[in-house]
A and B are shown apart, each in its own frame.
Chain A
Amino acid sequence: MTLNDTVLTNDGLDARATGTVLLIACGALAHEILALKRINAWDHLDLTCLPAILHNHPDRIPDAVSDAVLRHRSQYDQIFVVYADCGTGGLLEKRCRELGVQMIPGPHCYSFFEGNDTFAARDEMTAFYLTDFLVRQFEAFVIKPLGLDRHPELRDMYFGHYEKLVYQAQTDDPDLTDKAKACADRLELTFERRFTGYGQLQTELAQIGTSTGA
């Protein structure tokens, strides 16, 4: 399946109506989840994604997840929400509990890609994080919504207290690393690349397979 990042950003991804477990995920995780599905032959998992740009509007995530769960739940044995808290201040967790569906633990994808415990132990408050997807969609997620394309003078108001940009690499891609470095330069932050692979995303999804006996 060929994925289009712009479509994942704005529209998400439709389920294929195959498998017994539906993953409802952020569009920013589509590449990684489909790669894990392929590598591990997790044929019992189907995937639908909500628009990744909800990342910039966390207040809209609980309702969007809720709608997707209610729309799909009759067609699957189980639904798993592939979101962490993602800035919802605990509201997504509460909603998932009410709906009786599980989600990924942790504050956000930067945390579970690295592993929640490792990420928390770093305690890096002056780091700005990008993943593979966010590097590719840097303009759509950072530059344009913050108005930095039109008003670069706002840089200090947004990033004045940040010190470094951490690129959490899910894959080894020199071009993407170059692009991430350019993102750091543009934000006037020092650059650090950390290879995370799929991290806790992989272990969490693997457990779904185990628990369903698939």
Chain B
Amino acid sequence: MSEEDDEIILSELDDEELVQQMFDDLYDGLKEEIEEGVNILLERGWQPYRILTEALVGGMTIVGNDFRDGILFVPEVLLAANAMKGGMAILKPLLVETGAPRVGKMVIGTVKGDIHDIGKNLVSMMMEGAGFEVVDLGINNAVEAYLEALEKEQPDILGMSALLTTTMPYMKVVIDTLVEKGIRDDYTVLVGGAPLNEEFGKAIGADAYCRDAAVAVETAKTFMARKHNQLAAG
């Protein structure tokens, strides 16, 4: 089958078809097509937040589900994430301008001694997609870096990531320091990374262990809703 015969002209699709096509393009990790789709929807008057949630997050949710179910693997998820990143880069400045709703704020970073950031980057991106403001501290963060960012950014959530069995105990160092300083309860602490599990999350005093980026988003939303309810009740 020749590509020419099959070529889809994105601008000729109606909105619903275009969003469906963007789901497929995200699934296939086609960054340029996603960027084109985003621009077409903007030209058609879609609000940036609507494009983000309906086209990009909607598509990445399918990718996330298929990753969880063992249908997609890490390389495909990374390609999809890269495509979404292309779309996000167009939308991000516009989201600020248009005053898109902000669900909450998160400071996130990989712990000291650890340079792995694939999972953390996925979480950052999906959290942004879900309407969170994310301050990403990058890799190899000592407790001082977390404290400084918490002080400066005043987030709702602290996220910590580790890929190594040897570095994951450092999360406890950070949490213990928060306790010592009497600020532990000021933040929801979410932890994640390949060698972690729920038991470990509980043992170190985190609020929750998040298995993957999709779970991180859902968990963060749940904690934010709880916080709002408490504030309303108080």
Contact = CB atoms under 8 A, between A and B. Distances in A.
Interface of A: 58-59, 85, 87-91, 107-108, 120, 123, 125-126, 145-148, 150-151, 154, 157-158, 161-162
A151 to B, nearest CB: 6
A87 B163 CA distance: 8
A87 B165 CA distance: 6
A145 B164 CA distance: 19
Given A87-B195, A89-B195, A154 B75 contact: yes
A154 to B, nearest CB: 6
A125 B113 contact: yes
B75 A147 contact: yes
Interface of B: 73-76, 78-79, 82, 113-118, 139-140, 164-166, 168, 194-197, 200
A68 to B, nearest CB: 21
Contacts of A107: 164-166
- The 4 A-B residue pairs whose C-beta atoms are closest, nearest first, are A147-B75, A89-B195, A161-B115, A85-B165
B197 A89 contact: yes
A146 B116 CA distance: 14
Contact of B165 (A90, A147, A154): A90
A156 B66 CA distance: 24
Given A91-B197, A148-B75, 8 more contacts: A87-B164, A89-B165, A89-B200, A90-B195, A107-B166, A125-B115, A146-B74, A161-B115
Nearest to A120: B166
A87 B194 contact: yes
A28 to B, nearest CB: 17
Contacts of B116: 161
In terms of DSSP, what is the predominant structure of the interface of chain A?
loop
Contacts of A90: 165, 195, 200
Given A90-B200, A107-B165, A123 B113 contact: yes
A147 B140 contact: no
A88 B165 CA distance: 7
B118 A157 contact: yes
A208 B54 CA distance: 60
Contacts of A151: 75, 79
Contacts of A154: 75, 78-79
B210 to A, nearest CB: 14
A147 B196 CA distance: 24
B36 to A, nearest CB: 19
B73 to A, nearest CB: 7
Nearest to B76: A147
Which of A59, A85, A126, A157 has most chain B Cβ within 10 Å? Answer: A157
A57 to B, nearest CB: 10
Contacts of B165: 85, 87-90, 107-108
A70 B131 CA distance: 49
B119 to A, nearest CB: 11
Contacts of A91: 197
Contacts of A147: 73-76, 78-79
A102 B197 CA distance: 22
Contacts of B78: 147, 154, 157
A168 B116 CA distance: 21
A76 B98 CA distance: 70
Nearest to A94: B199
A120 B113 CA distance: 12
A170 B197 CA distance: 33
A88 B114 CA distance: 16
19 contacts: A58-B194, A85-B195, A87-B165, A87-B194, A89-B165, A89-B194, A89-B195, A89-B196, A91-B197, A107-B165, A125-B113, A126-B115, A146-B74, A147-B75, A147-B78, A148-B75, A154-B78, A157-B82, A157-B118
